[in-house]
Structure 1
């Protein structure tokens, strides 16, 4: 888990964020070399790049809603922060709390628990980005819960068919 948090801090720094947010945790999980979460995200058609693309679409969509166009990409490009953030923002705290609750004990916390915590967020950047990407969050959440419950005994989730997304 330490590596996920460290990677989330790097993602936040790259984005110029002063805090680690749920989107940085999701990017870190998508980049992690952990079979369960990699397979769960793959089922939804997500990898690190796809998550980044979905977050960018959400950013542009949010700007459009506010009447700002994404015509000047240089202005919209994130600026790398000078320092790596160490504080969790509201969305990350909530995702981590929910992940911890699913784990039951801090020593049992795995990336799948954090993914579940992220998927349980009802509002914010990540839910909007996943909706724009066409991800069935309810099904992905159910699959994540099942993977956690199985505790890896049955292996990774089944590969999706075209109709399962």
Structure 2
């Protein structure tokens, strides 16, 4: 399984870098990992996301709403949708931000033996975030993070729960 997880992780990080570039970000953030996991889910992760009503478009819409609400909270009102549209960066980010590193650390902390890492550990790391864009966007999407976290833990091998 370590080789399979390594390939999955590589694919997710590549996809997250593409998401970050498309959104004009200088680094790979937790939200880019979430989008990448939604785009590149393996069977267990796909079932978990589906059970919460999450797919790539739902997550994209929730992230956009989170961005707009953040602007509103700062007193910024933008009615021109083109102003809110992300601008693709010319440079593909390769560095993980602190939020992305935290996702990976939390996901990997849930397993004693690194050879037992599964794709669901990345999802678990995302669900372990207490604050930030991802938790706010998931709340806007109507996701019960506690329930999805519990289902994700239950989908992992017994030693990793």
Is TM > 0.5 for Structure 1 vs Structure 2?
yes
- For the residues of structure 1 that align with 2:89 and 2:114, how far apart are their CA atoms? 30
2:146 aligned partner: 138
Q: Give CA deviations for 1:112-157 in whole Å, capped at 9, x if unaligned.
A: 1011001000000000001111100000000000001359xxxxxx
Match of 2:107 among 99, 104, 109: 99
1:118 aligned partner: 126
- For the residues of structure 2 that align with 1:13 and 1:107, how far apart are their CA atoms? 31
Match of 1:44 among 38, 41, 52: 52
Change (3 A) 1:107 1:8: farther
Provide runs of 4+ in structure 1 moved above 4 Å: none
1:31 aligned partner: 39
Match of 2:135 among 127, 136, 150: 127
Q: Which piece of structure 1 moves more, 136-145 or 108-117?
A: 108-117
Structure 2 SS opposite 1:9: helix
Structure 2 SS opposite 1:103: coil
Q: Any stretches of 5+ residues in structure 1 without a counterpart? A: 152-165
CA displacement at 1:100 relative to structure 2: 1.2
CA displacement at 1:103 relative to structure 2: 3.0
Q: Give CA deviations for 1:81-125 in whole Å, capped at 9, x if unaligned.
A: 111111111110100001111133444333210110010000000
1:161 aligned partner: none
How many residues in Structure 1 have an aligned counterpart in Structure 2?
Answer: 151
State yes or no: 1:87 paired with 2:95.
Answer: yes
- For the residues of structure 2 that align with 1:100 and 1:30, how far apart are their CA atoms? 19
Match of 2:79 among 55, 71, 80: 71
Q: Any stretches of 5+ residues in structure 2 without a counterpart? A: 1-8
Change (3 A) 1:100 1:138: same
- For the residues of structure 2 that align with 1:20 and 1:107, how far apart are their CA atoms? 25
Structure 1 SS opposite 2:110: helix
